[in-house]
Structure 1
Amino acid sequence: MGDSPGFLDGPRSDLEKTLDDLIADAQRVLTAETRLRSLLAANRAVTEELDLDQTLHRIVDVAAALVHAEYAALGVVGGDGKLERFIHTGMDPDVVAAIGHLPEGRGLLGAVIEETHTIRLGDLAGDARSAGFPPHHPQMHGFLGVPVRTREEVFGNLYLTNPAAGEFTSEDAELIEALAATAGIAIDNARLFDRAVRQRRLASALSSISAALLAPGGEEPMDIVVRGLSDVVAADLITIVVPEQEGRMHRVVAAWGDHAEELQGTLHLAEASVTEQAMRTGELATVNGKRAYLDGRLILGSTVAVPFMATQHPTGAIFVARHPERPHLSSADLEAVSEFASQAGIAVTLAWARRDRQRLEVMEDRARIARDLHDHVIQRLFASGIRLQALASIEGPHTPALEREVAEIDAAINDIRAAIFTLRTRPESGVPAARHRVIDVITELSPVLTTPPHLTFRGPVDLVLSGDLADDVIAVVRESLANIARHASATSSTVSIEVDDGGVAVVVEDDGHGPPPHVTRRGGTKNLQDRASRRGGTYALTRGPERGARAEWRVPLLPPPSR
């Protein structure tokens, strides 16, 4: 009775087998349920973020955790079919630095790009499509590559290697495919959000640019443009270049970012440059390779140039670049740069037109003032002078005083005529007229003089004085007034600049104690004498008629004959 009947052994074995099968099925269901829960959690995780960069990094982390992979990466496919970004996890930063160059989409990575379907391998080294590993790269065996689609296009691919189980299963592939579908939706949403943020930044930047450009006395338009673009696109360097020397060279007229101060105003060869290509074709041009500038002190990577049209034709080009270690400029970045350049060009054109209109209004106002001075003030002074001169012709005790007043009226008329000429004269280039430069020097030195000098112009000063001759005249006025301030102890001084057929004469007088009896030419006065000699003229520093000093610098209009 102690032993079990033999006829029960068969049913018990069947029962145990059935129970084992039920337990195994339950375990598989539990595992599947766990993995489904993990997939749901992964889907929720990748859809929580709206920032594109954070979404991409989260997709990689979640994919690795979902199938217990040691390494995972997301390769973003660019417009040329190659990888423009490679977001990875699991690899030590030191190992990444030792490898150096990130994958470009060759070998198995390229196969997933080309075939656009899932690839699962037990050992990737044994596949004919494998391109091997670069130095310092860790060994990888099991491989799973799954495309990530956004709507109808392949955004990129998920790559996973070295699963904990040794090989990826079909269930692993199904889970990653499901995750990739959700990731595609999350990426699309993040891109839409990113575009909305860019549009808001673009609108804000263009609004700020328009306000700055239209503000009176604002900074240079090109400086405003590069600073505004830095708020729209994440870049390390932004410049605007314009062609010079018949297009052979490009000058940097505005710069923002790394080495901006060094680049400002520099000239660069236009031939084969990305900015030359943009200006020549009128279209956006890109370069992704490394290039060195400033004798190797500045290394740039991903670069875009767009034509900058501030008129109906390209005025120059906007250059935007990142450092080589930064992600390439994306298609969204290129679109934002292109749209910004177009809108900013219109804003600059309107600002230039507004400033031209303001200059025209100022010129018209100056012309009106000049007419009023000529037609009313001078005529009244002239009439007063004639009457006083008639009175002075009658001998009497007040005759000398009347003659002095007539002389003062004549001097005032000459001053007004000089002012009228200045009001009516507008320099054709950005170089200030000679009269304005002389006035600027007198304004600069007046604080160190007892009283501001009395200034007189005679003749077509602005028409004759230009270039090196104008520089010489400015030097004479500056040095002479500086000598008065340092040595003369004068209470008053006069500056007279006269241009006639005989040449140019600059006379500076003061009522100080005058020069010593024996003047030694040295320093500044020697320099003025040399300037006169080079032009075949003379320079003399003598005592004034009554007191003080008289400096006279006189040169002919024609250069001296060569010997």
Structure 2
Amino acid sequence: MGAVTTDRDEILQAVSSAVLAVTRHLSVREVLQVIVRSAQRLLDARYAALGVPDDDGSFAEFVAEGITGKQWDAIGPLPRQHGMLGAMLREAAPARLPDLRADPRFEYWPKAHPVMKDFLGVPIRDGEQVLGIIFLANKRTPGGFTQEDQDLLTLFAAHAAIALTNARLYERGRELAMLEERNRMARELHDAVTQKLFSLRLTAQAAGALLEKAPDQAAVELERVHRLAGEALAELRAVIVELRPAELDRHGLAETLRKHVRMLDRLHPSEITFECAELPPLDSAVEVAVLRVAQEALHNALRHSGAARVSVHLSFEDGRLALTVVDDGRGFDPAESRGLGLVSMRDRAESVGGIMAVGSARGEGTTVHVEVGV
């Protein structure tokens, strides 16, 4: 009896450790990876994978352990919801098989796919909703997976569902916070600058009306236009500095952007890299403008381009700071684009005396390049 209790305690401790490992991570993709690694280690399986379904008959996320990157490249695209994976999503019930290939629900593998024999799959559920399926194959211990293994994986999947739900809620909360920040910025800009620009417009109209009839008065009004324009620019710069992210004060532009790229690389399936040369001290407004352009360019690449790889590069040479964001996505025709935030990105660059160029073509990716004299 004592030995049975000890074994049970060890199993529960292993489950607890695995779940705690999951809950320490907040990004969805990182949670998925830790769930798979923990399940593989917990049940001593050679292969482990977890798929999160999308609405188009494929998988929005699919992570695996036991398969090398080279093997993945040879296997090809993410699996679709066919065969055993599709059956498990439809049936939402555990499956334990001595030989996966002998089951009538099995269809086929891609040519480069490793051979899997004994199989254990369990749905990850939130109530009636199936968040995904986790499955293991080729148990290292002879004899295949047991009923005890199935019970353990089911218990682990129930706890993992909580961690995965929390990670999704965190990401949604973060997106809402970013949206609120954008809305707040719009309100700040409106309150601080709109009145000044309205006065500028009226004064310019008055100067135009007086230009022929009273040129001396027109010159006075134009001088006022010049003064108001300077004040509006100063107000705008003050708002930009006020809205400066706290990370810039703590870490500077390079490290703030590095951390942002690292976070996005964890959250998205695309490979996102960052390179930076040594930078001199930068003006606050320049740091904010370049950071916001980089964030917008990354947002476009990850949300709209379907890119597999995105690179961000910061450099400084001959008194000029340069930002380059390149993706290998589907591209677009810049002449036909009215969205993607290109106007706001260009406005941000020009607000600090910079220039922005966008190079893209359909099927050939996109490059966003910004240069600012510092």
Corresponding residue of 1:253:
62
Give the aligned partner of residue 451 of structure 1.
320
1:468 aligned to which of 322, 329, 332: 332
Please say if 1:332 is aligned against 2:192. Answer: no
Shift in Å, 1:280: 1.7
Q: Residues 293 and 253 from structure 1, CA distance in 2 versus in 1: closer, same or farther, beyond 3 angstroms?
A: same
What is the rounded CA distance, in whole Å, between the counterparts of 1:203 and 1:241 in structure 2? 22
**SS of equivalent residue, structure 1 residue 253:** strand
2:37: which partner in 1? 227
Q: Deviations along 1:387-439, whole A, 9 cap, x unmatched?
A: 79979975599887655455556778999999xxxxxxxxxxx8999981189
Residue 255 of structure 1 and its aligned partner are, at CA, apart by: 1.2
Distance in structure 1 (CA, Å) of the matches to 2:318 and 2:142: 59
Higher gyration radius (CA): 1
Structure 1 residues 438 and 285, CA, compared in 2 at 3 Å: closer, same or farther? closer
Instruction: Render the CA deviation track for 1:514-560: whole Å, top value 9, x for unaligned.
Output: xxxxxxxxxx9xxx7xx59xxxxxxxxxxxxxxxxxxxxxxxxxxxx
1:193-238 deviation digits (Å, cap 9, x = unpaired): 322211111011112211223xxx6863211221232342211111
1:424-439 matches, cutoff 5 A: 436-437=296-297
After superposition, the C-alpha distances for 1:33-87 in whole angstroms (9 at most, x for unaligned) are: xxxxxxxxxxxxxxxxxxxxxxxxxxxxxxxxxxxxxxxxxxxxxxxxxxxxxxx
Residue 503 of structure 1 corresponds to: none
In structure 1, the residue corresponding to 2:115 is in which secondary structure? Answer: strand
Paired amino acid for 1:363:
L
Conserved in 1, the CA contact under 8 Å of 2:206 and 2:218? no
Pairing partner for 1:267 from 46, 63, 78: 78
Greater RCO structure (CA 8 Å; 6+ sep): 2
CA RMSD, 1 decimal: 5.0
Residue 331 (structure 1) shift: 1.6
Identity %: 21
- Cα deviation code 1:472-495 (max 9, x no counterpart): 879xx9xxx9xxxxxxxxxx7534
Aligned to 1:367: 183
Contact 1:209 1:225 in 2 (8 A): yes
Give the Å deviation of 1:260.
6.5
Q: Distance in 1 between matches of 2:137 and 2:49?
A: 9
Alpha-carbon distance between aligned partners in 2 of 1:438 and 1:324, rounded to the nearest angstrom: 42
Which residue, 109, 121, 127 being the options, matches 1:305? 121
Displacement of 1:353 after TM fit?
1.7
TM-score for the superposition, normalised by structure 1: 0.39
Q: State the alpha-carbon separation in 1 of the partners of residues 39 and 186 from structure 2.
A: 44
Residue 328 of structure 1 aligns to a residue whose secondary structure is coil
C-alpha change, 1:390 and 1:435, in structure 2 (3 Å) is farther
- Could you say if the C-alpha distance between residues 344 and 305 of structure 1 is closer, same or farther in structure 2, counting changes exceeding 3 Å? same
Distance 1:314 1:225 in 2: 16
Structure 1 pair 191–300 and aligned structure 2 pair: CA distance change class (3 A): farther
224 and 380 in structure 1: CA distance in 2 versus 1, 3 angstrom threshold: farther
> Would you say the 8 A contact 2:99–2:118 is kept in 1?
yes
Q: Distance in 2 between matches of 1:447 and 1:326?
A: 60
1:366-515 aligned at under 5 Å gives the runs: 366-380=182-196, 382-383=198-199, 394=216, 403-406=225-228, 436-437=296-297, 444=313, 447-448=316-317, 450-452=319-321, 468-469=332-333, 494-495=355-356
How many equivalent residue pairs?
Answer: 272
Aligned 8 A contact 1:290 1:299 in 2: no
2:316 partner amino acid: P
CA apart distance, 1:288: 1.5
Q: Note if 1:285 corresponds to 2:95.
A: yes
Query: For residues 219 and 233 of structure 2, what CA distance do their matches in structure 1 show?
Result: 23
- Could you tell me how far 1:246 is from its partner in structure 2? 4.2
Q: Distance in 1 between matches of 2:100 and 2:312?
A: 52
Residue 166 of structure 2, aligned match among 345, 350, 354: 350
Contact preservation (8 Å) 1:301, 1:324 = no
What is the SS of the residue equivalent to 1:309?
Answer: strand
Give the partner amino acid of 1:226: V
Give the Å deviation of 1:240: 0.8
| Higher helix content, 1 or 2 | 2
State the SS of the aligned residue for 1:301.
coil
Structure 2 counterpart of 1:436, which letter? E
Offset from partner CA, 1:308-327 (integer Å, 9 cap, x none): 22574112211111258743
Equivalent-residue separation in structure 2 for 1:439 and 1:276 (angstroms) = 32
- Structure 2 gaps of 5+ residues are 102-107, 211-215, 241-267, 271-291, 302-310, 324-329, 347-352, 363-374
**Partners of 1:353 and 1:397 in 2: CA distance:** 59
- Alpha carbons of structure 1 residues 384 and 362: separation in structure 2 relative to 1, 3 Å: same
**Cα distance change of structure 1 residues 284 and 471 upon mapping to structure 2, 3 Å threshold:** farther
DSSP 3-state at the match of 1:300:
coil
Question: Corresponding residue for 1:28?
Answer: none
Query: Which residue in the other structure is 2:8 paired with?
Result: 195
Counterpart CA distance in 1 for 2:61 and 2:77 is 6
Shift of 1:285: 0.6
Give the counterpart letter for 2:320 in structure 1: T
Alpha-carbon separation, structure 2, partners of 1:367 and 1:209: 33
Distance 1:366 1:282, change over 3 A: same
Q: TM-score, normalised by structure 2?
A: 0.55
